[in-house]
Chains A and B, each alone.
Chain A
Amino acid sequence: MAFVDGSTGEISLQATGAVARRQALSRASRYVLLAATLVGVGVLLYLGYETIDRGGSRLSIDFLTSYPSRFAERAGLRSSLIGWFWVLGLTVILAIPIAIGTAIWMEEFAPRNRVLTLVKLNLANLAGVPSIIYGILGLALFVRFMDLGPSILAGSLTLALMILPMTVIASQEAIRQVPPSIRHGALALGATRWQMVWNHVLPGAMPGIMTGMILAVSRAAGETAALIMIGAFTFIAYDNTRPTEDFTTVPVQIYNWTIRPQEAFRQNAAAAIIVLMVFVLTLNLIAAVIRERFRSE
């Protein structure tokens, strides 16, 4: 569109008045929004840089394979890494069937009535409960009432409960993405409801469910408060071999090193944070790869 400049009679493509103001605002908004985005990225990069700068020099095979120690330069992550993998592995095994089962029931089987509304409301609320509350619940229910002690199993049950709302909601979303035509087709050909779910809906929803799971596990990986609450230890000088043993995890070890007065221990904490970040990033990467693979097919 062309504008005619009243004083010179020339034709220019430059907007004037209110239009120009609107266009300038539009141009500026782009940079304001970009700046907003960069705040988060900048903080993350700065934190990452600080951590690597402080702890990078401490990272070594020895650091990963030695037990905790009162000498910061000898202390390592061995028992906490092993305890961590135990707890997370069991958490996944415990949470998956319950989460998928719940989601299938809610999406495919549940009568659309007050019970379902109640369950949905419950889930939405549970998703917002702070982790320390799950810790208190775990202490009362698993550690004391069920008499599991502050064991790997008690820790996994607590974390499984904690990530349940997230995983159920993610699984529901994934199941909802499967088009209704597939369900109708299956039912029209005489499949039972269960056959339809098992053979058609679930396979289609699987990538989404897995992505949600992996993201939930990366949240559980960083959990400290709930585990300290159920009585996870800090100094453990052996390798866990059974789910009934006492344990410690990487985040608990980081917390312990952070509150020690010696600078060397805080370098250890930074090094352990790098290990934790690499682990969580790897998990998120796996989730992204799964998503992409199935989107492209």
Chain B
Amino acid sequence: MRRPRLESSKPLMLALALVAMSFVAFAACGDDDDANGADNTPAAGEIDYGSLGGSLRVDGSSTVFPIAEAVAEEFSNESNVRVNVGFSGTGGGFERFCRGEIEVSDASRPIEQDEIDACADEGITDILEFQVAIDALTVVANSNNDFLECLTVQQLHDIFTGTASNWNDIDPAFPDDGIVRFFPGTDSGTFDYFVEAIIEGVDETAAHTGDGTASEDDNVLAQGVEGDDNGLGYFGFAYFQEAGQQLKAIAIDGGEGCVEPSLETALDGSYQPLSRPLFIYTRESFLRDRPEVLGFMKYFMDNTNTLSEEVGYVPLSDNLLAEQQTKIEPFLP
């Protein structure tokens, strides 16, 4: 064993300190890119985005994340506002929103009473809701499935509460094979929405079955249904459009006959009960006192239709959009 001496290890300690320092130095050497906001004088009711600075935080539903990210990206090019977007889930977003940690909360369902109460406990009572797009849930079966074309809400309910375990339980004409279920995890807004529309919508006391494969990752669900002839699952329409084309979308009969999931049926409201509104929430006081939040919200509502469609959601009808935009008007200069 070599006799250790301090001299030999001094360079080592130095090197160690240098490595740590250089990490930070490298990290710190980035400089701020100035957004080049166009310098135009705003008309009444318009906002000069280029003059806005500061920062704001957006968090919540991972379903809404792609829209919020798209808006934040475009807004960063127009203004000097730093918009940070996260995706900790609809419930997580509301929790942070009510603690005052974020300015804007994304949600794939309307805010619930207990969330409103939690906000009120923190003195937050001026919550504003904006609808930004429509999302549709798609029920999918394996492409080899040659008997299933359309499901009634009652049949879907029976399958996903576990009342029906074989295909012939929902229709005697169907084969006597077990249904293999795939559904999102309980943390997702998609799951909440399905429970509300299909499970509790038919019977207030029913619960979603746990018998099947649950995953927060739509890819896992799609691959599961692809890999099993008796597979049946559901996930967001945007995901189906992007990556679910080798699966078979099932039409839904909400009482008005069978309706296929599509952009058109979601928009005209005929694809029921599986098309849902997507929301963002903020506070009146932010719109009043924080120009960067007002600017962001205005920009969001002006561009949500274009950007939502770009990332795979259904844009709002003109009337609905106008209704959302009027909510901002009282706060505009």
A interface, CB within 8 angstroms of B: 67-70, 78, 82-83, 85-86, 88-90, 92-93, 96, 144, 149-150, 178-179, 182, 198-207, 210, 213, 228, 231-241, 246, 256, 258-263, 290, 294, 297
Alpha-carbon distance A244/B62, docked complex (angstroms): 25
Alpha-carbon distance A179/B2, docked complex (angstroms): 10
Most chain B Cβ neighbours within 10 Å, of A90, A92, A205: A92
Q: Once the chains bind, are A233 and B242 in contact (CB under 8 Å)?
A: no
- Which A residue sits closest to B222, measured CB to CB? A261
User: Can you give 21 A-B contacts (C-beta < 8 A)?
Assistant: A68-B69, A70-B311, A86-B23, A86-B24, A89-B24, A92-B19, A203-B8, A205-B4, A206-B9, A210-B16, A231-B86, A232-B86, A233-B59, A234-B86, A235-B73, A235-B84, A236-B84, A238-B33, A259-B216, A262-B242, A297-B8
Q: Within residues 20 to 41 of chain B, which ones have a CB less than 8 A from any CB in chain A?
A: 20-24, 26-28, 30-33
Is chain B's binding surface mostly helix, strand, loop or mixed?
Answer: helix
A270 to nearest B CB, angstroms?
13
- Which B residue sits closest to A65, measured CB to CB? B30
Alpha-carbon distance A206/B16, docked complex (angstroms): 10
Q: Once the chains bind, are B16 and A297 in contact (CB under 8 Å)?
A: no
Alpha-carbon distance A278/B65, docked complex (angstroms): 29
Q: Once the chains bind, are B242 and A182 in contact (CB under 8 Å)?
A: no
Alpha-carbon distance A243/B21, docked complex (angstroms): 13
Given contacts A69-B73, A202-B9, A233 and B85 within 8 Å (CB-CB): yes
A92 to nearest B CB, angstroms?
4
Given contacts A199-B6, A203-B6, A297-B2, A260 and B20 within 8 Å (CB-CB): no
B331 contacts the other chain (CB 8 A): no
Q: Once the chains bind, are A231 and B101 in contact (CB under 8 Å)?
A: yes
Give the residues in chain A near B96, CB-CB below 8 Å. 231
**Which 8 pairs between the two chains have the least Cβ-Cβ distance?**
A239-B30, A89-B23, A204-B4, A235-B85, A261-B242, A203-B9, A89-B24, A86-B27
Give the residues in chain A near B76, CB-CB below 8 Å. 67, 237-238
B13 contacts the other chain (CB 8 A): yes
Alpha-carbon distance A206/B22, docked complex (angstroms): 20
Give the residues in chain B near A96, CB-CB below 8 Å. 16, 20
A188 to nearest B CB, angstroms?
15
Given contacts A92-B23, A297-B2, A237 and B83 within 8 Å (CB-CB): yes
